[in-house]
Amino acid sequence: MKAILLALPALLAAGGAARAQTLPDVLLQEFQRQSGVTGMAAAIVRDGQLAWHGEAGYADAAHKLPVTQQTEFRLGSVSKFVTIAMLARLVEQGRIDLQRPVRAYLPDYPAKQYEFTPLQLATHTSGMGHYEFGDGRFDERAEPYKTVGESLAVFQERPLRSQPGTKYEYSSYGYNLLSAVMEKAAQEDFRAMLAGAAQLAGTPSLQPELLAPAGAHWSRLYAQDGSELPRRNITYKWSGGGMLANAPDIARFGLKTLDPAFIAPGTLAMFTAPQQFADGTGISGKDYQQAIGWRVSTDYYGRRYFHHAGSIEGGRSQLSVYPAQKAAVSLLANASFTSAVALSAESLLDAHSAAPAGPCREGTRAFKGRWREQDIAGRARFSRAGAYCKVELSADNALGDAVARKGAAPAIIGYSRAADGATYFVTPVGIYPGKAAGDVLALQTSAGPAELRLN
């Protein structure tokens, strides 16, 4: 019998200590503990102000150095979010025509079976491939690539994998090439362009990763089991996955895209509009529509947002921007692991406005439920644990298997908001949003919704 811990309704007690943790603090720390990831950080920026930041675990486990507000993490493909903001500015300035062939900007780039455009590179429809087994991602190269043009040698001789405009082929190499187009159009080095964008956004920690020396605030890199990883060369992919930042700064950069002085509203509307294949059908992923580089989704709470996630050796990341709420939320980790980062970020943002907890229903109750068309059942023991109302669920079912981390007992810990029943379920693979209504508990997992009914 597997034991699943579940803490349901409960928040921080009203009238607690002046320096009591906020609900997002509790969620982040529990997520870091359950996931086994060495260190995490997150931040929420609203109306141009840092509304919350949270840290958990270590930036350097060997020396017991905790993650701080200044800790800089690998962004992985959240780097693409930044590159697209820079591209939007170049389009707005009339320096790049998204529909013009790439070789019109880079005539020396090897010709392929078909012409393709900057727009197709940005939307992953150019036909270019992603990393391939055997290329080693060129991590072992002893020297950093000095220019974007030099790094194109990694992939430039490869043929296209499909006809442009007909298929979604996620490609970080496509973003390398896109950044070379941006350099040519702007007549400026990509690193200098990035430094200028970071300065305008007020995000000094946002930078390209260099091979050496490591920055004073750089987190060390880890596998999910806590073993430390070497810092290998990623200088070939600054635009697609090679940037660093701390959690508050990357959230600030996300919010900066809503500033009309940074990106005009018309340009932002164009870049956040869902895109189409050549045949007119929409380009989409599992839970998002593909815009120009950015991904567009509607979250569990009905809020529209644009975003990007990242996964890289020694890093996992999410940046989500909510135009209607004038808010951005970031979530960064120093290990790559299977996780629901987008759902986790939206839960942190919603939990930031959570109200104090109501009474805790102590005692033991049975539950039955459904998840992915399977019956699940067990018992729930509610108890007050300090400021929280906690319930332990005993269950041997598919939901428990789905959230289990290898080598550790599966765990779900949730917290409910008294005002509207919004509930945040923490698991080893993510913070899931949900609802508590009477005796029914509902949550949205990466693999679909679950519903539990207490008897």
Confidence of residue 395 (pLDDT cuts 50, 70, 90): low
Beta bridge partner(s), residue 305: 297
Domains of the chain by residue range? 3-22+353-454, 72-351
Q: Give the per-residue pLDDT at 345.
A: 98
Confidence of residue 19 (pLDDT cuts 50, 70, 90): very low
- Mean pLDDT for 200-215 is 91
The number of beta carbons lying within 10 Å of the beta carbon of residue 47 is: 10
Beta bridge partner(s), residue 433: 424
What does the mean pLDDT of the chain come to? 89
Q: Is the pLDDT of residue 269 over 90?
A: yes
Selecting from 3.40.710.10, 1.10.3720.10, 3.40.50.300, 3.40.30.10, what CATH number does the domain 72-351 have?
3.40.710.10
Q: Give the per-residue pLDDT at 20.
A: 65
- Mean pLDDT for 87-111 is 97
Q: Is the pLDDT of residue 361 over 90?
A: no
- Give the count of alpha carbons within 13 A of 107, CB side only: 1
Q: Give the per-residue pLDDT at 3.
A: 42
Angstrom distance (rounded) from CA 431 to CA 343: 6
Orientation of helix 172-186 relative to helix 78-92, angle to 10°? 30
Per-residue pLDDT tens over the stretch 400-428: 888 888 777 667 887 776 667 788 888 99
- Mean pLDDT for 334-339 is 94
Q: Give the per-residue pLDDT at 414.
A: 79
Q: Give the per-residue pLDDT at 385.
A: 60
Angstrom distance (rounded) from CA 415 to CA 180: 47
Q: What is the dihedral of CA 377, 383, 386, 390, to 10 degrees?
A: 10
Q: Is 162 exposed, middle or buried (0-12, 13-18, 19+ CB in 10 A)?
A: middle
Orientation of helix 190-201 relative to helix 172-186, angle to 10°? 90
Q: Give the per-residue pLDDT at 407.
A: 73
Per-residue pLDDT tens over the stretch 21-39: 788 998 999 999 999 999 9
| Residue reference for tokens 């008294």 | 418
Whether residue 164 has a cis bond before it, omega within 30° of 0: no
Q: Is the pLDDT of residue 111 over 90?
A: yes
Orientation of helix 78-92 relative to helix 190-201, angle to 10°? 90
Q: Is the pLDDT of residue 141 over 70?
A: no
Q: Give the per-residue pLDDT at 347.
A: 96
Q: Give the per-residue pLDDT at 9.
A: 38
The pair phi, psi for residue 143, each rounded to 5°, is -110, 145
- Mean pLDDT for 279-290 is 94
